[in-house]
Amino acid sequence: MEYIRTSPKKTDGCIFCEKLNDNRDRDNLLLYRSRHHFVLMNPFPYNNGHLMVLPNRHVPDMEGFEDEALLDFMKTMQLSLESLKEAMMPEGFNVGINFGKVAGAGLGEHVHLHIVPRWAGDAGFMTVVGETKVIPEHITRTYDCLSVIFERRSRESAEG
C-alpha cells in the first residue's frame, strides 16, 4: 500500500534515463548495470519480479546496435532470467519487446524488453472477474532479494 499511495514524480525527460543517471538504485528499483544496458524492476508489475532490460543509450529501437551491444542485451536478459529463476522459481516467463507506442510501448522513445515471471494459476479469478492483480510480495522486498542475486551472479560471471 505504501507504494500504491506514493504518487509518481512527473518528469519532462525520459524516466528511464533519469533512473539510470540517478545514483539511488534501490529507490529507482535499478538492479544491474552493464557496459551497454541496465535492469529495472517495473514499478507497475504484471507479476512479482517483472523486470525490464534497457539500453544505456536513449534510443527508440535496436537499429544500429553494434554486435557487442546486441550480445550484451541478450546476456543481460539471460542474467535476469537466471536470477529470477533462483529467487522466485517461476514455472515460465513472458519475454517481449514493444517497438513504438502503437505496438504497446507506453514509453516508445526508449526501447525496453519486458521479462514477466509466470506461475500456473497466476491469472486466476481475481484478474478475470475482479479486474484486480494480486501481488503477494512488496516490490522493495522483491528488489532486496533480487539485488543480492544479481550482484553475486554478475561477480561470478566477471571472475570467470
Active-site positions read 112
Contacts of 39 (CB under 8 A, 6+ apart): 30, 31, 32, 51, 52, 53, 54, 76, 79, 80, 150
79: which 3 cell numbers? 542474467
Q: How open is the CA angle 136-137-140, to the nearest 5 degrees? A: 155
- For residue 57, how many other CB atoms are within 10 A of its CB? 14
